[in-house]
A and B are shown apart, each in its own frame.
Chain A
Amino acid sequence: MSDQTVPIAPLARLTERLPFRSGPSFVDVLPLLVLVALVVFFATQAESFLGSRNLLVMSGQAGILLLVSLGATLVIVTGSIDLSVGSIILLTGAILSRLLVGGVDSTLLVILATLAIGATAGFVNGAIFAFGRIPSFIATLGALSFFNGLGLTIIGGRSIAFDSPGVLNLAIGQWIPNVQNSALFGLVALAILFVFSRSTRFGRYLYAIGGNERVVALSGISIRRYKILAFVLSGVTAALAGLLVTAQLSASGPSLGSTALLDSLAAIVIGGTALSGGNGGVHRTLLGVLIVTVLVNGLNQLGVQDFAQIMIKGAVIVVAAIFTMASQRGLHLK
């Protein structure tokens, strides 16, 4: 149980030091209240919900969702969107499973390959968007289709299983007792990207671009460079998520990553990062990820049908967006 509450306590302190706000507002604490309410609800409804086994499973699920949502959050902070994260997961899984079946068995090599795949895919996205001067929605929609097709071609449209204890351990091992490595990866990436976005000039540029691109350009800053950087980061975190999912299953398959786009967007919006860009951030996305994970897992525990779950997720996204937008309008009028 303590494993689950660990990330929440420091978060309350973080929200008090949001990069661009002076103090926590209603919308800052709302996701926290929702999370607590959900945990209490599911704990009373399903005995197994707070069982140590389920907590471990949830930490793994949350870690992977966190990874894929982190880079995507930074893209959204710049006022763009990356629709291709799910397809990058599929592409990564496809390539890695081919490599592993083909005789590669070095965990380090697998990680390096993952980073290379993610960075390349992200760079392609960013370059098409920045140099082609088309909306990121269109650029990454095209990329989504392309990467999906490429991934499916690589695995021939079927599942490819591999047997690699080292890779499996990357995902479900416990370098820290009672914390799945997937969760560890997620938290480490969160810490790095949090510092990156708050305390480096590159991170500040991402927020500034989301706030007003023209002002940034007239301040003598190359916008393209930093837009591409955001997409590269998004590609890398998506690929890392792809590595962990594939490792967890010890297999890749055609449906890999198919829920990642919706779930990560849900987590980002619920956390309170507005799609219009310029505010929010990775620290908020952590809360969104925990809410989505608890919601999905809890509904599973209660035996709610898959299809109904999808409907509930959709409704939650819309409600969260309404709250986020309302709070921004409120701030703007003050």
Chain B
Amino acid sequence: MPATVAPLLEAIDITKTYGSNEVLSKVSLSVAPGEIVGLIGENGAGKSTLLNILSGVVSPDAGKLRRNGAPIAPSTYREASRSGIIRVFQDSALIDNLRVYENLFFGWEHFFTGRLGLLDRRAMLDAARKALDAGGLTELAADRPISDLAPGERQALDIARAVATADLLGIEAPVILFDEPTTALDSANEENFLRLLERLRGRAGVVFVSHRLGEVLRSCDRIVVLKDGKRVADAPASGLTDADLHRLMVGRERTGNYYREDRQKPRPGPARLEVNGIAIAGAYEPVSFALAPGEVLGLAGTDGSGKRRLAQTIAGERSPDRGEIRVDGKRLRTGVPAAVAAGVAFVPGERQHDGLIVRETILANFELPSLHDLFSNAAGFRLGRKARTAAERYIAELEISAPNGVESRIDTLSGGNQQKVLLAKWLVRDPRVLVLENPTQGVDTGAREAIYRAVRDAAARGVAVVIVSDDLPELIGLSDRILILVEGRSTRLLDAAPGAKPEEAAVVAEMIPAGIRSTPGTTPGITHV
């Protein structure tokens, strides 16, 4: 772009300190018209704080913001919105019990007041129609309730809303800030999001925070890397590679094989986990497979393919309508307590909702599933010292960084460290079957390595592992075999032996329902079930 055009948004030498902790140190960032800027860094590098400052949620201690060359100092999110800096939050900010059009204009209803100060519903619906069409949501009815939208539609709506807000306010070139928009999306929806992002390029500037280095490289023009509150790189995406970004973020080279495929070897022996024709009506059709000790099975599919339900069934959270699950030959009774007793461990995807009590300490979370056996005596008295020693061992083993040791509250830890605690609370039970749902979602690169190592360690001890992950490179990298589910049917079982891994594109092609698929998956190395 020509140097004469002022950047849409400029942050200059932003500094922010919490207590004695300098979260941002003289960080600068600029967004030119039509530019997509990737903002990456490990958890705690300062990405969220920078977004908070850009969007008026937090005020900087020092530094300046400029919008189209003019200084601004938004002190609230609304003020930032008015100047055309609009944020799409990490957890969709849509309100479930309102309709599409109500959500689109939420907070800006006064643009639609008619006579007597009442809302002009017709005008809102008309404007909503235009906004939806512009955002590529031509199929979506403006008066539909939000609660029945699919994740991909919600995301598209979040983006349409950001653009609609700018339109309402008469802002020609808004800056849209995305906070890890693809974290909760599966691969198909992720593609969809990247297409939407491309559409924005024509009229907005974008700041895009993500943990997924591949998509940042693909979709961004320029990449800004933060490390420990400092900007360590600001460079065109075209000259950078995955490995460069990793090195910049972590501060060291990515060592050897990321997913430790060299350690991938299931041990022969009688099946550790047998799934025999289980099915849940409306979720997935009968599926069967068997895992040897140490074998890792990946479940792949789009949202709604039934892969999550299948994983949850193995974990005992859902009861199958038919079929049976066996662990070491013994039939599993239904319910989580029975599954836990049989040695099944479940690391759910929503770690803050389903995995950990965030207001409790590491110790309280760590000991919870084992209070009835490992960490209490026959009378029910808690064996505090034993639990503490075990927790401390896992803190060291998994390299959990916690300011107050086992007494640290979960909500003071980074996402990666939280995930490690969640893993530890199950590993201490020495499980036979480990079910993992998105084990590295929202987890930085350094912590990922430790988690992959822990999964390989478990497999080496003979644990059968079932992984559901929306991060396909991870799923392919970790798995021995990959079971593909399409609309509840298990269609393929791909071999993913080390050195003979299927390509990501081939797996995606398998995941897409037949009616939509343009070219049939004919990749070598794929066998029918």
- A residues apposed to B, CB below 8 Å: 20, 22, 199-202, 204-205, 207-208, 211-212, 214-222, 278-279, 331-332, 334
Contacts of B404 in A (CB 8 A): 22
Contact B382–A220 (Cβ < 8 Å)? no
Contact B380–A201 (Cβ < 8 Å)? yes
Contact B357–A220 (Cβ < 8 Å)? no
Instruction: Tell me the bound Cα distance from A221 to B368 in angstroms.
Output: 9
Q: Could you list 15 A-B pairs, sorted by A, with CB under 8 Å?
A: A200-B376, A200-B381, A201-B381, A202-B380, A204-B368, A207-B360, A211-B364, A212-B356, A216-B368, A218-B336, A218-B346, A220-B316, A220-B336, A220-B339, A331-B409
Number of interface residues of B (CB under 8 A): 39
* B198 part of interface (Cβ distance < 8 Å): no
Give chain B interface residues in 337-356, CB to chain A under 8 Å. Answer: 337, 339-341, 346, 348, 353-356
Assuming the contacts A204-B371, A208-B368, asked whether A218 and B348 have C-beta atoms less than 8 A apart, the reply is yes
Give chain B interface residues in 370-416, CB to chain A under 8 Å. Answer: 371-372, 375-376, 379-382, 384, 404, 407, 409, 411-412
Assuming the contacts A219-B340, A220-B340, asked whether A212 and B357 have C-beta atoms less than 8 A apart, the reply is yes
Contact for B376 among A20, A201, A331, CB less than 8 A:
A201
Contact B360–A208 (Cβ < 8 Å)? yes
Q: Which of A200, A215, A217, A221 has most chain B Cβ within 10 Å?
A: A215
The binding surface of chain A is classed by DSSP as: helix
Contact for A215 among B315, B339, B354, B384, CB less than 8 A:
B354
Contact B357–A278 (Cβ < 8 Å)? yes
Instruction: Tell me the bound Cα distance from A220 to B333 in angstroms.
Output: 13
Instruction: Tell me the bound Cα distance from A65 to B25 in angstroms.
Output: 55
Contact for B369 among A220, A278, A334, CB less than 8 A:
A220
Contact B369–A199 (Cβ < 8 Å)? no
List of 7 A-B pairs having minimum Cβ-Cβ separation, nearest first: A220-B340, A211-B357, A201-B371, A219-B369, A212-B357, A201-B376, A220-B337
Contacts of A332 in B (CB 8 A): 359, 411
Closest to B368 in A: A219
Contact A208–B337 (Cβ < 8 Å)? no
Instruction: Tell me the bound Cα distance from A279 to B359 in angstroms.
Output: 9
CB distance from A228 to the nearest CB of B (A): 16
Instruction: Tell me the bound Cα distance from A200 to B377 in angstroms.
Output: 9
CB distance from B98 to the nearest CB of A (A): 24
Contact A20–B340 (Cβ < 8 Å)? no
Contacts of A214 in B (CB 8 A): 353-354
Assuming the contacts A200-B382, A220-B340, A221-B337, asked whether A215 and B359 have C-beta atoms less than 8 A apart, the reply is no
Closest to B404 in A: A22
Q: A208-B360, A331-B359 are in contact. List 8 more A-B contacts (CB 8 A).
A: A201-B382, A208-B357, A212-B357, A214-B354, A219-B340, A220-B369, A221-B369, A331-B409
Contact A22–B407 (Cβ < 8 Å)? yes
Contacts of B368 in A (CB 8 A): 204, 208, 215-216, 219, 221
Contacts of A201 in B (CB 8 A): 371-372, 375-376, 380-382
Contact for A205 among B361, B371, B381, CB less than 8 A:
B371
CB distance from B267 to the nearest CB of A (A): 27
Contacts of A22 in B (CB 8 A): 404, 407
* B109 part of interface (Cβ distance < 8 Å): no
CB distance from B344 to the nearest CB of A (A): 9
CB distance from B388 to the nearest CB of A (A): 14
Contacts of A278 in B (CB 8 A): 357, 359-360
* B228 part of interface (Cβ distance < 8 Å): no
Contact B380–A20 (Cβ < 8 Å)? no
